[in-house]
Amino acid sequence: MRDKNTAFYRGNTQVSVDFSASQISSDGAIVLLEKLERKHKLISYFSSHIKDQRDPLRTTHSMEKLLKQRVFTLMQGYEDANDVDQLKNDPLYQDILDGEMASQPTLSRFENSLGKQGIFDLCYAWIDRYVASLAGREQLTIDIDATDDPTHGQQQLSMFNGYYGRFMYNELFFHDGQTGQIIVPVLRPGNSHSNKWYVSILKRVVEKIRASHPKMRIIIRADSGFSCPAFYKLADNYGLDFVLGLASNEVLKRKVKRVEKVVSHLYVRQGIKHQHFFTHSYQAKSWHKPQQCYTKVESTGKGLNTRHIVSNLPEKDARSIYFGIYVQRAEASENRIKEVKNMCFADRLSNHGFWANFTRLLISSLAYELFLLLKTAIRKTKINPAKQWCIATIRARLLKVGATIKKTKRRIYYQLSRAFVHQELFKQLITQ
């Protein structure tokens, strides 16, 4: 007999749907994030650097709770502050956050409360935390890269960038080339050139590192947008090694013209793949001294491709510098930026105020750092396929799992779905 809950019939079998099940959350693995935070105290560290200027008599949610809610919901895939409207009755979030979730207006006030000085304090704290993690290391590679964040509203300092051809913000990231850690993230006006502010920021980072680790070898790696006179002076003053891309110009074109003709004659016309490297000295008019330049003239099988890099690494030849160091930026920096931008939603800078959007960039970067800690924990397990997962895969396969919660006077039970495919991985992680 058909009733009001009947959805359809499968043959003679009636399929009914109602909402009589117990409260089930789709974010059961949030308890894993809570354990990760309790172990590393990342959110606690950064929240301690946020000045709370609110009236304590009218305050319901602490700064740490607001930051935790924002970071955890980002990690679970909820991009915006108003997603709390869908989660406010979720029993797992209420347990993790020790009470009702903060509303969207409260979160918006939080994002707009930091201001310029508050942002600077968090950036300094970010660098300090990174420097404190360097114990025992003798060498590090700092990857520097920028990315565009298109804007579609009336955000402050959203400006047209001729290179990208759109209104945007310009995000700048300093990454550790070995570990993937974000050394510091920076938000810049949309019309900023790639090298805007970066030398002064890099100088502060290097000084912090050298103050604690004076013998640390530091290698700077970046594309051609970051090649500028101020950087080369900084590298000499602080003894930095570097590998940078170099944009072509008329002088360089004249230098490589003869080699290009030979490669074109011997390989390009026959459709043969070939790479020819050669080394030469080059000095732009604005540089304080000549630099060693390495050029790759390549027959791709379909045409000619010429690339230049500049480096002061003494122990490497052109081929090993290019393939062994420079092109490793793709995985070490560019793919990491994709994760923080596209998978931790650093491209959702839709507040009106510039500093509020800078806050959002920091929150997304903080979510990325927690994911990085989770990746490290996964590498300690025996589940080898999971060790290759990117952030989006970790979210889809590990964090999004149905669960209920049961409380007694002495215990809290998180009961995850019996059908969860990655139970063994979850068990190994939660017991670390």
Tell me if 280 is assigned to some domain.
Answer: yes
Asked if residue 238 and residue 255 are part of one domain, the reply reads no
- Which among 401, 420, 408, 432 is positioned nearest to 27, based on CA atoms? 401
Asked if residue 334 and residue 202 are part of one domain, the reply reads yes
Torsional sign, CA 184, 138, 331, 428: negative
Asked if residue 64 and residue 164 are part of one domain, the reply reads no
Tell me if 403 is assigned to some domain.
Answer: yes
Asked if residue 338 and residue 191 are part of one domain, the reply reads yes
Asked if residue 188 and residue 97 are part of one domain, the reply reads no
The distance of Cα 234 from the centroid of its chain, to the nearest Å, equals 26
Asked if residue 337 and residue 203 are part of one domain, the reply reads yes
Tell me if 372 is assigned to some domain.
Answer: no
Q: What is the CATH number of the domain that holds 219?
A: 3.30.420
Asked if residue 382 and residue 233 are part of one domain, the reply reads no
- Total domains, the chain: 3
Identify whether the C-beta of residue 196 lies closer than 8 Å to the C-beta of residue 180.
no
Q: What is the pLDDT, as a whole number, of residue 20? A: 74
Asked if residue 162 and residue 63 are part of one domain, the reply reads no
Tell me, what amino acid is at 138?
E
Q: What is the pLDDT, as a whole number, of residue 340? A: 97
How far is 390 from 162, CA to CA, in rounded Å? 32
Q: What is the pLDDT, as a whole number, of residue 10? A: 86
41-47: long-range contacts (C-beta < 8 A, 24 or more apart)?
Answer: 42/366, 42/369, 42/370, 42/373, 43/67, 43/68, 43/71, 43/366, 43/370, 45/125, 45/129, 46/122, 46/125, 46/126, 46/362, 46/366
Range of the domain at 36: 22-105+378-430
Asked if residue 181 and residue 233 are part of one domain, the reply reads yes
Tell me if 236 is assigned to some domain.
Answer: yes
Q: What is the pLDDT, as a whole number, of residue 31? A: 95
Asked if residue 263 and residue 217 are part of one domain, the reply reads no
Tell me if 363 is assigned to some domain.
Answer: no
pTM score: 0.94
Tell me if 172 is assigned to some domain.
Answer: yes
Asked if residue 262 and residue 387 are part of one domain, the reply reads no
Tell me if 121 is assigned to some domain.
Answer: yes
Q: What is the pLDDT, as a whole number, of residue 12? A: 84
Tell me if 4 is assigned to some domain.
Answer: no
How would DSSP label each residue in 237-250? Answer: HHT-EEEEEE---H
Asked if residue 72 and residue 126 are part of one domain, the reply reads no
Q: What is the pLDDT, as a whole number, of residue 16? A: 82
Q: What pLDDT tens digit does each residue of the chain (432 aa) get?
A: 567 778 888 888 888 887 877 888 999 999 999 999 999 999 999 999 999 988 888 889 999 999 999 999 999 999 999 999 999 999 999 999 998 999 999 999 999 999 999 999 999 999 999 999 999 999 999 999 999 999 998 999 999 999 999 999 999 999 999 999 999 999 999 999 989 999 999 999 999 999 999 999 999 999 999 999 999 999 999 999 999 999 999 999 999 999 999 999 999 888 899 999 999 999 999 999 999 999 999 999 889 999 999 999 987 788 999 999 999 999 999 999 999 999 999 999 999 999 999 999 999 999 999 999 999 999 999 999 999 999 999 999 999 999 999 988 899 999 999 999 999 999 999 998
